[in-house]
Amino acid sequence: MNIKFVVVGKLKEKYFKQGIAEYAKRLSRFCKFSIVEVPDEKAPESMSQAEMDQVMAAEGERILSKIKDREYVYALAILGKERSSEEFAKELKDLTTYGHSDITFVIGGSLGLTPAVLKRANTQISFGRFTLPHQLMRLVLTEQVYRAFMINEGSPYHK
């Protein structure tokens, strides 16, 4: 199984990098895990809606260029479907059972994802209505993917 994150922007904070590296190491026994970073667009504080749409469109094109046709895509979106850790674990297990071995998660930039990216996604997932920095979301998502594997293995990790 291949798990890939396609994310906007570089991870600068050392503590996020360390946390993600730890979960990536743990995930290596379950899957091939990778993170593909696409450059973010410069986005000044005050932009018109047209400028915001332009920034999102540029980032969206970069995201879509990193997704292959056969990949099952989760788009992280506030309005996506919330799942419990157990539901998420079952979903990942079911996907692999039914032939989806390439699973991709997309985390947009600070302005979110374009309709084109959301349309390409097979499903949208939400981690609640909180707004979280996309760098932190990367760490949270990595841990939840690891947790899903541990739940499916019957490990006590999920207590």
The annotation status of 64 as a binding-site residue, yes or no, is no
Name the one residue in this structure whose structure tokens are 């050392």.
Answer: 14
Contact 87, 56 (CB under 8 A): no
The three-point CA angle 124-39-132 to 5° equals 45
The annotation status of 76 as a binding-site residue, yes or no, is yes
Q: Which of these, 78, 103, 80, 75, lies nearest to 91 by C-alpha position?
A: 103
Contact 70, 121 (CB under 8 A): no
Euclidean distance between CA atoms 94 and 30, whole angstroms: 15
- DSSP letter at 2? E
Euclidean distance between CA atoms 72 and 57, whole angstroms: 21
C-alpha R_g of the chain: 16
From the annotation, which residues make up the binding site? Answer: 76, 108
From the annotation, which residues make up the binding site for S-adenosyl-L-methionine? Answer: 76, 108
